[in-house]
Amino acid sequence: MSTLRAAGLVTLVLAALLGSAYALGRSLVPEQEHNAGVKASVNSPHYADQPPSQDFPGPPRHSPSPSPSASTPASDDGDGPYGSRTSTGSSRVALTFDDGPDPRYTPQVLALLKEYGVKATFCVVGENAESHPNLIQAIVADGHTLCNHSWNHDVNLGKRSPDAIRADLLRTSDAIRAAVPGARIGYFRQPGGAWTRPVVSTCEELGMTPLHWAVDPADWTVPGAANIASTVMTQTGPGSIVLLHDAGGDRSGTVEALRHLLPELLDRYQLEALPVDAT
């Protein structure tokens, strides 16, 4: 009997010690700045989990646009890699949102844009457009511009054959137009910014302008709303194209940052959706 009591006492002591260790460990873990947002589903595409390709002469995934060089040539059409566009061409600023649509975050982004009367550009992924046609319809109904962002965010798309690139872009545009027949798709943004000559040539042959960016707060790394807003405000200038995300992972920080960014940006700039008749 005494042996059983002793064993029970040992068990209680061990349980108490384990509980204390767990509590201590939790106290040492810093709180996320925005942990109240809806968490991304484990079954949803997490494009931010894709590592940057090291095989391209263009910039790494979602990095600021580099200066033109022999390895990232620019043309008269734009000052980004292989002549991709990094500026609106005017004093106006363009907000762009990649990787959607997403049923959790895209409606929140659309609601904030509508609240402040701002038009933006949405670079949508084909498989998401196919899965959520109602959100493509909502984007167009609110007067925003659509941009092709490949079928499934293939960072290596530019390494593939011209036929494969063309098929990918056409499949994505078809999914967009299945939701909105006759939708104007004036732009293509290469996943990861991994531009190559073939992918630029193909998108231009299909009537789309290669769209890069000038400002990148790296919101796909989930740095918190304050960091996202600070980077955008300090790096944005007249004509900037700003890269943000409404899908591909937890975007609650991006949504929260927008609440602060939109009124501040509107105090300094006119915000525009990139024109849909771009060629």
Catalytic residues: 98, 245
- The owner of tokens 């996202």 is 228
237 touches 90 (CB < 8 A): no
Spatial CA neighbour of 38 closest among 260, 261, 255: 255
DSSP string for residues in 41-100: PTTS--GGGSPPPSS-SSPPTTPPPPPP-SSS--BTTBSSGGG-B-B-SSS-BEEEEES-
Distance from C-alpha of 126 to C-alpha of 117, rounded to nearest angstrom? 27
**3-state DSSP call for residue 107?**
helix
How crowded is the C-beta side of 274, counted as CA atoms within 13 Å?
A: 32
Quote the Cα angle for 227-246-208, to 5°.
115
Distance from C-alpha of 177 to C-alpha of 137, rounded to nearest angstrom? 10
Distance from C-alpha of 121 to C-alpha of 80, rounded to nearest angstrom? 18
248 touches 220 (CB < 8 A): yes
Distance from C-alpha of 165 to C-alpha of 198, rounded to nearest angstrom? 8
Tokens (6 digits) for 184: 């104007």
